[in-house]
């Protein structure tokens, strides 16, 4: 970006280097996929706002990443007006990554309704509200990208994760529809469908099944490799990322995926074993 561009973005006042870089907001940046994305984006020259609840974790990551990273410690579910919150971030947002998420694993009838509601709120309602909050400015500026981190559970919903899959299927559907709606504008939407990826959430989910061997034997990936693919999809304006690639089966052969999931997913434990609501 030129110096003139920098001045325009900062109202003519700021020339601090991070204000002249493209700015990404990554939710859920204190661990797992969000942390890997923050690292990937800073490595690719972005300024990144790291959002999550655990301030000390965010600050430790930001300290490693240097001046291009800043921390906003907040519970996204506790924000009454996400539009005002986005405005309070100050800098224009070139990239929003809706990544923060929670899971509840167990028999549907056993899951605490409060856990179910929390999953639907954090994994579906909050990301949609954040899309609504950032879009007007992106459309007005004629630039911007939104990444929605759904799940392969949106394409092939797993027994034992009913509310989670409902939330992720909702987010995936909304994200794909929004991409279509925004065709012809300068704003691009990427939908990410991660399969099992080695993070704290995967460990929580695995703990929700008694026969964890079956779950552990599924093809899985790493947060760093997924983050690289998402960053490339942003740069190349791709529609979606399905990772590991074997799960593209879910997209193209949903009936086969359904049969495999129903037959081979082990019955879940009671819900208390597999919820990560704090």
Ligand X SMILES: NC(=O)c1ccc[n+]([C@@H]2O[C@H](COP(=O)([O-])OP(=O)(O)OC[C@H]3O[C@@H](n4cnc5c(N)ncnc54)[C@H](OP(=O)(O)O)[C@@H]3O)[C@@H](O)[C@H]2O)c1
List contacts with ligand X (CB under 6 A): 27-34, 52-54, 57, 75-77, 99-102, 122, 149, 151, 194, 196-197, 199-202
Of 143 and 173, which CB lies nearer to ligand X in the complex structure? 173
Of 20 and 230, which CB lies nearer to ligand X in the complex structure? 230
Q: How far apart are CA 239 and CA 66, in angstroms?
A: 31
Least distance to ligand X from the beta carbon of 20, Å?
A: 27
Asked whether the beta carbons of 50 and 28 are under 8 A apart, the reply is no
Of 35 and 94, which CB lies nearer to ligand X in the complex structure? 35
Structure tokens at 71: 């921390």
What is the signed CA dihedral for 99, 102, 108, 113, rounded to 10 degrees? -120
Q: How far apart are CA 250 and CA 253, in angstroms?
A: 5
Is 164 catalytic? The answer is: yes
Chain position carrying tokens 């991070």: 18
Least distance to ligand X from the beta carbon of 52, Å?
A: 3
Of 185 and 245, which CB lies nearer to ligand X in the complex structure? 245
Least distance to ligand X from the beta carbon of 3, Å?
A: 35
Burial 9-41 (b: 16+ CB within 10 A, else e): bbeeeeeeebbbbbbbbbbbbbbbbbbbbbbbb
Least distance to ligand X from the beta carbon of 175, Å?
A: 12
Q: Which of 164, 209, 243, 247 is catalytic?
A: 164
Kindly report the backbone phi and psi dihedral angles of residue 85, in degrees, each rounded to the nearest multiple of 5, phi listed first.
Answer: -65, -45
Catalytic residues: 164
């Amino acid at each position: 970006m030129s110096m003139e561009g920098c001045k325009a973005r900062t109202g003519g006042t700021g020339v601090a280097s991070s204000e002249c870089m493209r700015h990404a907001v990554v939710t859920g940046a204190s661990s797992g996929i969000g942390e890997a994305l923050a690292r990937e984006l800073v490595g690719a020259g972005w300024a990144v706002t790291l959002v999550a609840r655990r301030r000390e974790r965010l600050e430790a990551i930001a300290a490693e990443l240097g001046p291009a990273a800043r921390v906003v410690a907040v519970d996204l579910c506790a924000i009454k007006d996400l539009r005002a919150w986005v405005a309070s971030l100050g800098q224009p947002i070139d990239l929003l990554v809706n990544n923060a998420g929670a899971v509840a694993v167990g028999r549907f009838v056993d899951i605490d309704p409060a856990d179910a509601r929390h999953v639907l709120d954090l994994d579906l309602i909050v990301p949609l509200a954040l899309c609504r909050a950032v879009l007007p400015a992106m459309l007005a500026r004629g630039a911007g990208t939104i990444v929605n981190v759904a799940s392969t559970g949106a394409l092939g919903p797993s027994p034992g994760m009913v509310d989670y899959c409902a939330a992720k299927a909702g987010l995936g559907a909304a994200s794909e529809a929004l991409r279509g709606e925004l065709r012809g504008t300068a704003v691009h939407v990427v939908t990410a469908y991660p399969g099992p990826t080695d993070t704290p959430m995967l460990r929580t989910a695995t703990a929700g099944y008694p026969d964890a061997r079956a779950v552990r034997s599924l093809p899985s990936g790493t947060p760093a490799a997924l983050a690289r693919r998402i960053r490339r999809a942003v740069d190349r304006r791709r529609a979606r990322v399905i990772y590991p690639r074997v799960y593209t089966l879910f997209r193209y052969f949903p009936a086969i995926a359904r049969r495999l999931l129903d037959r081979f997913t082990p019955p879940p434990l009671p819900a208390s074993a597999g919820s990560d609501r704090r």
